[in-house]
Chain A
Amino acid sequence: MRNLKTFIQDFGWPRIIIFLFLVSLFVFAPAVGVRLDASISDVFNRFGQYAILVLALVPMIQSGCGLNFGLALGIIAGLLGSTLSLQLELRGFMGFFGAIALSAPFSILLGYLYGKLLNKVKGEEMTIAMYVGFSFVMLMCIMWLVLPYSNPTMVWGYAGKGLRTTITVEGYWLKILNDFLAIKVGRFFVFPTGLLLFVGFCAFCMWVFLRSKTGTAMTAVGSNPDFARASGVSADKMRTISVVISTFLGAIGIIVYQQSFGFVQLYTAPTPMVFPAIAAILIGGANINKASMVNVLVGTFLFQGLLTMTPSVINSVLQTDMSEVIRMIVSNGMILYALTRKMKVAK
């Protein structure tokens, strides 16, 4: 009984409520005529889409920079990569990995500058990160209209200049990962093995990095910056590295998302991607200066599971689309729950 109590203690009540809510959704699904196999396949798909974006938050949390509200910067680097890959009309795996390679210089440069900025403003990092992210998204909105792209599928029909809001990746690298070794069971159930393998690979790399010398130093900076400084570790350098990695993973995350979702969404699309990722890692059990691989995987699965199940099940039960409201309350409720925990804010 005692360890059940400690399990509940550190797993936290909100997470348990969400978990039970999700299980009940799965149970009721068949009762209200929602195809279980299609839903589960959808959950896996969305899990694969979001997992790397959530993974991108881990380095900055570990190094004590807090929740990365500026993830939009990484997403923009990814958008630049994928638009360039489409411009060069790279196809198939070349297209997909080309996009990641092309996004790398942008994400590393942006991450470096963003890390330096955050080191200068310890304290109100989260609000500043948010607004730096937003202003950069707006700047890019202008860039999308001005940059000389010419691939007809991307550019406006009549104007011939400036990019569309959403660009299809059909014919380039749509579902490259999803269909790789995909297992089809019956008409509805498709298991995106390639996608989940790639996600597993990224998570493994992160796990290995966190156990490396720099990774250990970064974790120490997160849990006790003075301890790290006394052991000869430069806190600022570690934080900058964590921001660069976080931005780089953010770029990869959005590209993986696009290949599975099928569309490259530009202009103000990055901003609404940040909060769901943060909510997911918090649902997984991370707090403001500690996050592990389990938090990422469990959190993404729970959150995305919730997002897929609520529209179908709730709609048929209550005949209304409450899912948007539930998503907003659960996602922001979780972030709020994390922010109000007693947390040593890295000063």
Chain B
Amino acid sequence: MKAISLKNPKVLVRSILLLIYVAVLVIMLLTGKRHTILIDNKDAGDGSYLAIDGMSVQIDKQEAAEYYPGDRDRALVNGQKHTIKVEIFSDGKIFESSFALPLGQDMVLLSVPKLVAGIEPYIEPFSVQLEQASAPEAGPPQGMQFGGDSVPPAEEAAPTAPALIQ
């Protein structure tokens, strides 16, 4: 097997292409990764920070949303680095800050009061136990093309047209 010298243009170009392929894959993953941020406006358990009684919160360039004590809402964002702008109605103070989300963490809890009070870390991971999916779906429905003699569906069901995607 003659040694594949890197000078041979074909090999050179093909290996560069492979690198580009992997690079783009990674970039897409990073920039496209979707995270859900739960924006929270509650009092701390130990009273170290209190809910803000009226503010508007804006993440990146999404339109701002109003929060009152006890509210919790979520914002969907792509990618890791984001900015947050909080404007408190009562005294009009504006807090701005940027943060980075860990790649692997799908959902995080951002407590605005903590942010305002300057307590770090105001973001902590949040994992939710998925409640069991509603009806346990069995295997694939018998497509038009195969299956044959599976037990006939319920008596009264109208003739189901084959699942045709329009």
> Which residues of chain A from 146 to 187 have a CB within 8 Å of any chain B CB?
157, 164-166
> Which residues of chain B from 28 to 87 have a CB within 8 Å of any chain A CB?
none
Closest B-chain residue to A46, C-beta based? Answer: B149
Interface string of B143-159 (1 = CB under 8 A from A): 01111110011011101
Closest B-chain residue to A159, C-beta based? Answer: B158
Interface string of A251-289 (1 = CB under 8 A from B): 000000000010101111001110110000000000000
* Contact of A272 with B145 at beta-carbon distance under 8 Å, contacts A166-B152, A265-B152 already known: yes
A83 to B146, CA, bound (A): 23
A124 adjacent to chain B (CB < 8 Å): no
A324 adjacent to chain B (CB < 8 Å): yes
The interface of chain A, by Cβ under 8 A from chain B, is 49, 141, 157, 164-166, 261, 263, 265-268, 271-273, 275-276, 321, 324, 327-328, 331
B144 & A324 in contact (Cβ 8 Å cutoff) = no
Q: Which of A261, A267, A272 contacts B147 (CB 8 A)?
A: A272
A56 CB, nearest partner CB in chain B, Å: 16
Tell me if B's interface is mostly helix, strand, loop or mixed. loop
B162 adjacent to chain A (CB < 8 Å): yes
Add 16 more A-B contacts to A166-B152, A263-B152, A324-B140 (CB < 8 A). Answer: A157-B156, A164-B155, A165-B152, A165-B157, A165-B160, A166-B153, A261-B149, A266-B159, A268-B144, A268-B162, A272-B142, A272-B144, A272-B146, A275-B145, A276-B148, A321-B139
Can you list 19 pairs linking A and B with CB atoms under 8 Å apart? A164-B155, A165-B157, A165-B159, A165-B160, A166-B153, A166-B155, A261-B149, A265-B152, A266-B159, A271-B144, A272-B145, A272-B147, A272-B148, A275-B145, A276-B148, A324-B139, A327-B146, A328-B146, A331-B146
A273 & B159 in contact (Cβ 8 Å cutoff) = no
A157 CB, nearest partner CB in chain B, Å: 7
A299 to B153, CA, bound (A): 29
A49 to B148, CA, bound (A): 12
A324 & B147 in contact (Cβ 8 Å cutoff) = yes
A268 to B149, CA, bound (A): 12
A331 to B146, CA, bound (A): 10
Q: Which of A271, A272, A276 has the most CB of B within 10 A?
A: A272
Find chain A residues with CB under 8 A from B145 CB: 271-272, 275
A263 to B159, CA, bound (A): 15
A161 CB, nearest partner CB in chain B, Å: 13
Find chain A residues with CB under 8 A from B152 CB: 165-166, 263, 265
